[in-house]
Chain A
Amino acid sequence: MKWSEFFVTGEPLIYAADVAIVLTMVGIVFVLTYFKKWKWLWNEWLTTVDHKKIGVMYIICAVLMLFRGGVDALLMRAQLTAPNMKFLDAQHYNEIFTTHGTIMILFMAMPFIIGLMNIVVPLQIGARDVAFPYLNALSFWLFFFGALLFNISFVIGGSPDAGWTAYFPLAGNEFSHGVGNNYYAVALQISGIGTLMTGINFLVTILKMRAPGMTLMRMPMFTWTILITCVLIIFAFPVLTVALALMTFDRVFGTQFFTMANGGMSMLWANLFWIWGHPEVYIVILPSFGIFSEVVSTFAQKRLFGYKAMVGSIVGIAFLSFIVWVHHFFTMGAGPAVNSAFSITTMAIAIPTGVKIFNWLFTIRKGKIRFTTAMLWSLAFIPNFVIGGVTGVMLAMAAADYQYHNSYFLIAHFHYVLIAGTVFACFAGLHYWYPKMFGHILNERLGKWTFWLFMIGFNVCFFPMYFLGLMGMTRRMYTYSAGLGWTPLNVVATVGAVLMGIGFIVLCYNIYYSARYGERDMTGDPWNGRTLEWATASPPVHYNFPVTPVVEDVDAYWVMKKKYGGFHVKEEDLKPIHMPSNSGRPFWMSVAFFVAGFGLVFKWFALAIVGALFIVLGLILRSFEDDDGYHIPVDEIKRMERAARKGA
């Protein structure tokens, strides 16, 4: 490989990115050095095993990735604004929609959700941390370096360009000669392993570490959705692991799984991909349902309506999500019987989903609704998601899907579910739990600006796409010709995208503004919350609860407030608290994964082996480690509790 091929060259966009990357890195190094923060960074963040800090790091990465994916989206929209635009060439457009889709789903939606669940779940169940804090750190760093590996493809070697679905044979050696799709296979693999471990970790945490009195049917709805999501992760992600491994074997070692010659079968890839892919969309949507449930119930100031039905419908959705994958390729010609069967299973998902919608509606009925920003996002979810949902049912009807498939109708549908579902939920959760994370509230005025800009922009951008699809505009077209009549709606869509972009900028400004001037949350319970996370200080002391709370009902903290006027800790009840020690090993092992992955992408096997050896070394060191953590003495707890609560 020549150096000129190693670094992507020849485009102003790329040079700008190179410069931006170098400047950012120099800037970070300078700031850290100037303020003498290296040690702080290492001790407080890079080696932490605290679920709250890990959650914050996930969310920071997710917001950065939302930025990257959003820039990709705006570039695409710019190119499609008018017919025959020359803003991006075909190759670039293809790379950009590929990275947009992959990043948005795997490196934005997933980590955002996982970040929120890291912060919230242990608090909601009254636990001190997750079951395996060390593993949790490893999960995060694997995700981080997987995402990093994926992102550097933009400037080193070239980005993948076969779509986020990477269908073969297009994504195989026969048609994709660069390293782009190697990046796809390896980077997703690394972060996918991290996700799988998160799934196991949180499943054990939720099953085994709930506070006394919290039976399964007294768990907060968000925790329920995470429990089920973990099950989905545990059964779906191994399929992705295998699919990506086979892809890597095909691309790097010349095997014949999905090739066109020697018996290879490209349709196998499509099946494996979607056997993971469909559950994957539920992995990002179920927790979103959980977030909406929490927020809606809090700000309607009313218990969640139909708790049992809610639980039942999550379980139903999760089960169905494994038997619908063929709806992604009804047009492959599997025959009418197969298509009919998968049509029906897919439509059946609408039933439990409908149940949930009505339960939310009836939660707000007879409530006393407070229109906070978090609540606005959650309320807006209902009508917008219903639009995405009903068009989803339309897509599920095989015979009709032949007319929608791969068109902008589909693009509109899945953005209506992914944005109105997951992104709205992430924003709702961010505003809702922000005080828990950082101790201050995000400015409500700016929050509402973000909401209205983004929500209106979203509809302006994506609603016309349904009609573009019906007009025959197919997804992944880098340009179209003038006589087709597609121009007006495309212009409208671009306007909407710009509005969403502005909304995002306001959000970023809000984060900065609130950090400086935002209202501090001294009570730990700024929203009059119902679940246990609000029983801790904002932000919680690193051991979360000085003594383990006892749960009497679904809305555990609500009941405590009603009955006892809050969560009171008697100092004589305090006992020393056992905490896990920090470790730098998850960080450097993930670096080793990165190095090994990079070697694999470029087929530099020596480098890959060096990376692999360090991974093995890390595992051996971990096996011999005899560190059982440490204890916080009672006096120390007393001191920290007083400090945390001094405002109250």
Chain B
Amino acid sequence: MKWARWRAVLVLPFLFLFGGCVERTAVLNPQGPVARMQYDLIMWSVGFMLFIIVVVFTLFAVFLIRYREKPENAGYEPPDEEGNTLLEVVWTAIPILIVAALAVPTVKATFALEKPPTEKVKPITIHVTAANWKWIFSYPEENIETVNYVHIPAGVPVKFKLTSVGPMNSFWVPELGGQKYAMDGMETELILQADKPGSYMGRSANFSGEKFAHMEFEVVAQTGTDFRKWVNEVKQTAPKLDEKKYTQILKPGLVGRMTFSNTHLQWIDHAKQNSHHADGKPMKNDDQSDEAMTNSHHHGE
């Protein structure tokens, strides 16, 4: 029976999931209350979806086997049925119920995600600036800045204030929670929280040009005391960031991890103005960074 063969093909990949490596499956391995809320919502929906799949696939299989043309039923004439009101009401009503059952928790979660998961702990704020093709993290209260990695205290809600210099990016740390866009001249806010110390991979989920695939960063969650210690260490040992250095960082290209004992917010907040350049001045067509980009956008060279 052919249908059985390809049902098997459909089921096979499920084995990938259950055959291990759940910890690799970041979204299904939530490491904080935000991701967990989304995980619960996902699992809630998966239940209904599997139910729908089972119903449809069963009917499908049964009908295919029973009603295929065979030599025995050569004389069979299918009935001329136009429909069946009762059945049609049933299969309109059930999806409506399912949609309702999904909509209610969805709306709840969508609103809940805009607020810190806990009231008890005061959140910390980190400004995130996406640039071609790196992530810049500024801690306004601690007055330090990091590039391509970020430390956060575990158990504390973190308000990430997202913006971008240039193309739109999306800030995503799947184990800690869903993503949000970072856009030029705008500020969006994403609240995440880690349960316990650990290292979580983050990346840009929105295509932003040539080297977008390399826009990865690490989120290091630490205990409160370790985090404090790290902040102090940075304050004492890290170099200062100045406008010149900052402009250099913003140039299209890849950079490694960096740490500074002050933030660029002192002279520019990209969320407040459209900016192509570090200095926020309107762009000139013939300047250097543009040339660099021209090159990267052509074949030829």
Interface size class of A (residues with CB under 8 A): 35 or more
| Interface contact B102-A347, CB-CB below 8 Å | yes
Selected from B110, B167, B170, B189, the residue in CB contact (under 8 A) with A399 is B110
Report the Cα distance A13→B25, complex, angstroms: 36
> Which one of A117-125, A228-236, A366-374 contacts B?
A366-374
A383 is an interface residue with CB less than 8 A from chain B: yes
How far does the Cβ of B185 sit from chain A's closest Cβ, in whole Å? 6
- Chain B positions within 8 Å of A, measured between CB atoms, are 6-7, 9-10, 13, 16-17, 21, 24-28, 35, 37-38, 41-42, 45-46, 49, 52-53, 56-57, 59-60, 63-64, 67-69, 73, 76, 78-84, 87-88, 91-92, 94-96, 98-99, 102-103, 106-107, 109-114, 166-168, 170, 172, 174, 177-181, 183-185, 188-189, 201, 203-213, 274-276, 282-283, 290, 293-294, 296-301
Selected from A359, A361, A472, the residue in CB contact (under 8 A) with B201 is A472
Excluding A158-B298, A175-B209, 15 further A-B contacts by CB distance (< 8 Å) are: A14-B299, A91-B296, A94-B207, A305-B83, A306-B83, A329-B181, A333-B188, A336-B114, A340-B110, A344-B99, A357-B56, A364-B64, A386-B57, A405-B170, A474-B205
A456 is an interface residue with CB less than 8 A from chain B: yes
Selected from B16, B80, B180, B188, the residue in CB contact (under 8 A) with A467 is B16
CB-CB under 8 A from B188, the residues of chain A are 332-333
Report the Cα distance A332→B186, complex, angstroms: 10
- Known contacts being A460-B9, A470-B28, is A366 close to B103, with CB within 8 Å? no
A177 is an interface residue with CB less than 8 A from chain B: yes
- Known contacts being A306-B83, A340-B106, A405-B179, is A355 close to B88, with CB within 8 Å? yes
| Interface contact B210-A90, CB-CB below 8 Å | yes
| Interface contact B300-A397, CB-CB below 8 Å | no
| Interface contact A368-B297, CB-CB below 8 Å | no
- Known contacts being A403-B42, A463-B10, is A390 close to B282, with CB within 8 Å? no
CB-CB under 8 A from B67, the residues of chain A are 300, 364-369
| Interface contact A264-B296, CB-CB below 8 Å | no
Q: Which of B84, B103, B206, B301 gathers most chain A CB within 10 Å? A: B206
Report the Cα distance A260→B35, complex, angstroms: 33
Q: List 19 A-B contacts (CB under 8 A).
A: A162-B207, A163-B207, A175-B209, A261-B282, A301-B78, A347-B102, A351-B99, A358-B91, A364-B67, A371-B68, A382-B60, A383-B60, A386-B56, A390-B52, A456-B6, A460-B9, A471-B24, A472-B26, A480-B213
Report the Cα distance A316→B103, complex, angstroms: 19
| Interface contact A178-B27, CB-CB below 8 Å | no
- As a 0/1 sequence over residues 245 to 269 of chain A, the CB contacts with chain B under 8 angstroms (1 = contact) are 0000000000000011110101100
Report the Cα distance A259→B275, complex, angstroms: 10
A350 is an interface residue with CB less than 8 A from chain B: yes
Q: Which A residues, 377 to 409, have Cβ-Cβ distances below 8 Å to chain B? A: 379-380, 382-383, 386-387, 390-391, 393-394, 397-407
> Which one of A2-10, A62-70, A509-517 contacts B?
A2-10
Q: Which A residues, 342 to 362, have Cβ-Cβ distances below 8 Å to chain B? A: 343-344, 347-348, 350-351, 354-355, 357-359, 361-362
| Interface contact A354-B95, CB-CB below 8 Å | yes
Report the Cα distance A386→B54, complex, angstroms: 10
Report the Cα distance A52→B291, complex, angstroms: 51
A244 is an interface residue with CB less than 8 A from chain B: no
CB-CB under 8 A from A355, the residues of chain B are 88, 91-92, 95
A339 is an interface residue with CB less than 8 A from chain B: yes
| Interface contact A175-B49, CB-CB below 8 Å | no
| Interface contact B210-A91, CB-CB below 8 Å | yes
| Interface contact A383-B56, CB-CB below 8 Å | yes
Tell me the dominant secondary structure on chain A's binding face. Answer: helix
Report the Cα distance A402→B41, complex, angstroms: 12
| Interface contact B53-A169, CB-CB below 8 Å | no
CB-CB under 8 A from A343, the residues of chain B are 103, 106-107, 110
Q: Which 10 A-B pairs have the closest CB atoms?
A: A402-B178, A399-B109, A333-B188, A306-B83, A390-B49, A302-B78, A477-B213, A476-B207, A170-B167, A485-B24
Selected from A162, A307, A390, A402, the residue in CB contact (under 8 A) with B179 is A402
Selected from A178, A306, A331, A470, the residue in CB contact (under 8 A) with B88 is A306
A549 is an interface residue with CB less than 8 A from chain B: no
How far does the Cβ of B284 sit from chain A's closest Cβ, in whole Å? 11
How far does the Cβ of A277 sit from chain B's closest Cβ, in whole Å? 16
Closest to B74 in A: A368
Report the Cα distance A339→B211, complex, angstroms: 30
- Known contacts being A175-B293, A343-B107, is A331 close to B179, with CB within 8 Å? yes
| Interface contact A347-B99, CB-CB below 8 Å | yes
Selected from A175, A305, A470, A488, the residue in CB contact (under 8 A) with B167 is A175
| Interface contact A348-B64, CB-CB below 8 Å | no
CB-CB under 8 A from B275, the residues of chain A are 260
- Known contacts being A336-B111, A336-B113, is A170 close to B213, with CB within 8 Å? no
A161 is an interface residue with CB less than 8 A from chain B: yes
Q: Which A residues, 149 to 166, have Cβ-Cβ distances below 8 Å to chain B? A: 158, 161-163
- Known contacts being A399-B37, A406-B206, A459-B10, is A169 close to B95, with CB within 8 Å? no
Selected from A174, A351, A369, A379, the residue in CB contact (under 8 A) with B283 is A174
Selected from A14, A391, A471, the residue in CB contact (under 8 A) with B49 is A391
A308 is an interface residue with CB less than 8 A from chain B: yes
| Interface contact B213-A478, CB-CB below 8 Å | yes
Report the Cα distance A382→B57, complex, angstroms: 9
Report the Cα distance A489→B14, complex, angstroms: 12
Selected from A176, A359, A364, A402, the residue in CB contact (under 8 A) with B180 is A402
- Known contacts being A261-B282, A340-B106, A471-B25, is A394 close to B46, with CB within 8 Å? yes
A271 is an interface residue with CB less than 8 A from chain B: no
Closest to A489 in B: B16
A611 is an interface residue with CB less than 8 A from chain B: no
Report the Cα distance A308→B82, complex, angstroms: 9
How far does the Cβ of B191 sit from chain A's closest Cβ, in whole Å? 11
Closest to A475 in B: B207
- As a 0/1 sequence over residues 401 to 424 of chain A, the CB contacts with chain B under 8 angstroms (1 = contact) are 111111100000000000000000
How far does the Cβ of B82 sit from chain A's closest Cβ, in whole Å? 7
Report the Cα distance A466→B17, complex, angstroms: 10
How far does the Cβ of A546 sit from chain B's closest Cβ, in whole Å? 29
Report the Cα distance A463→B207, complex, angstroms: 23
Selected from A308, A347, A464, the residue in CB contact (under 8 A) with B13 is A464
How far does the Cβ of A9 sit from chain B's closest Cβ, in whole Å? 6
| Interface contact A10-B299, CB-CB below 8 Å | yes
How far does the Cβ of A637 sit from chain B's closest Cβ, in whole Å? 35
CB-CB under 8 A from B205, the residues of chain A are 405-407, 474
CB-CB under 8 A from A455, the residues of chain B are 6
CB-CB under 8 A from B283, the residues of chain A are 174, 261
CB-CB under 8 A from B10, the residues of chain A are 383, 387, 459, 463
Report the Cα distance A477→B112, complex, angstroms: 31
A309 is an interface residue with CB less than 8 A from chain B: yes
CB-CB under 8 A from B35, the residues of chain A are 403
- Known contacts being A399-B113, A477-B212, is A266 close to B56, with CB within 8 Å? no
CB-CB under 8 A from A474, the residues of chain B are 172, 203-205
Report the Cα distance A382→B3, complex, angstroms: 12
A614 is an interface residue with CB less than 8 A from chain B: no
- Known contacts being A382-B56, A463-B10, is A307 close to B184, with CB within 8 Å? no
| Interface contact B166-A169, CB-CB below 8 Å | yes
How far does the Cβ of A51 sit from chain B's closest Cβ, in whole Å? 31
CB-CB under 8 A from B16, the residues of chain A are 464, 467, 488-489
CB-CB under 8 A from A308, the residues of chain B are 83
CB-CB under 8 A from B73, the residues of chain A are 368
CB-CB under 8 A from B64, the residues of chain A are 364, 369, 379
- As a 0/1 sequence over residues 1 to 24 of chain A, the CB contacts with chain B under 8 angstroms (1 = contact) are 000110011110010000000000
| Interface contact B60-A361, CB-CB below 8 Å | yes
Closest to A90 in B: B210
CB-CB under 8 A from B180, the residues of chain A are 331-333, 402
A167 is an interface residue with CB less than 8 A from chain B: yes
| Interface contact B300-A387, CB-CB below 8 Å | no
CB-CB under 8 A from A523, the residues of chain B are none
Closest to B66 in A: A365
